[in-house]
Amino acid sequence: MSLNYAAALSKYPDKGILGLEEITETDNIVKQKSSELAALLRAASRIVFLTGAGISTASGIPDFRGPKGVWTLEEMGLKPDVNIDFQTARPTFTHFAITEICKMRDKSCYVVSQNVDNLHMRSGLPKEQLSEVHGNIFTEKCPSCGREFVRRKPSESIGMRKTGNLCTARKIRNIRCRGKLVDTVLDWEDPLPFDELDESERRCTEADLCVVLGTTLQIQPTGNMPLKTKRGGGKVAIVNLQKTRLDSSADLVINAKCDEVMRVVCDHMGLSVPSEPSPSPEGSDLVVIKDAFRPKPPQYRVKRVKVDDGGGVVKTEVAAGDTVSEIVKEEPQHSSDA
């Protein structure tokens, strides 16, 4: 859970402003503003969702800087009273709502997440529509070939350290890569992954709407990304229980719980939001990668997704070419000297 994740981080004195007061607007105001957000979403063709810990609190994962956040309580010498971990946490209504909006054919959507809990992908959001700028506690990466492996269990390390597993991707002449996999979760002052950051900034710059959900935007450079949308002529909407540093720059600010707002939004947009992602039968196509922001050939594709029932490995290979996906079974490989 976020408590264990936070405890694994290095000591760092400046965690931002903690314990900000929560503000809850009246039901009528929330409904009115939520309908305005639905109108903004309907009118927009290029949308970026920027998400933070506040969209996962409904799943039982505590936030960090709220009145009962992990770091807020840490300052008081306390710990959150929680009994849920990342593995058993379920995506919230907001996660599923974002995924449904991202499926709309008349829109090009992208998600920039500061969360490491993997709940966006577990809600059915394709990786190709997601930048996890602080990493994913379920994902390992091969430094040699760049392949990523999304596991069923969270990593036991953070800070891009070796996990003890080997890359099983096939190289030229069908030889296994066997690079030593590392976790993808950033520690304090670790550099953000360049590709994820670059794509996030490009998407925000070219978006005509940036929707901020569940974050006070204190961490940089992510906290300034909505300004790129504003400078490009787009609009910014913020949904958060606390004030954020960009409230005065936003076109719409809603002080309410994300799930409450997104339920009204989806109702106005006529979207049916499932509580579970639709399962993909073995052997079926999973992902189609399209870059609708600017016309150019797709640079990357999901080549294969491999599931191992024994070791619990879900693997995503990335390679140049057209988009094709399939599921096959594979044995995990482990390093003896990690």
* CA quadruple 203, 61, 181, 9: dihedral sign: positive
Per the annotation, the verdict on 134 as an active-site residue is yes
Report the candidate in 24, 334, 10 with the shortest Cα–Cα distance to residue 190. 10
By three-state DSSP, how is residue 126 classified?
coil
Degrees, nearest 5: CA angle 252-254-255: 150
- How far is Cα 110 from Cα 47, in angstroms, rounded to an integer? 6
User: Which of 95, 134, 268, 334 does the annotation list as catalytic?
Assistant: 134
* CA quadruple 243, 245, 248, 249: dihedral sign: negative
Can the peptide bond before residue 277 be classed as cis, meaning omega within 30 degrees of 0?
Answer: no
Degrees, nearest 5: CA angle 62-65-67: 80
Cβ atoms 36, 100 nearer than 8 A: no
Report the candidate in 335, 331, 307, 315 with the shortest Cα–Cα distance to residue 180. 335
The tally of CA atoms less than 13 A away on the side-chain side of residue 149 is: 33
- How far is Cα 317 from Cα 146, in angstroms, rounded to an integer? 8
Cβ atoms 96, 275 nearer than 8 A: yes
Active site residues: 134
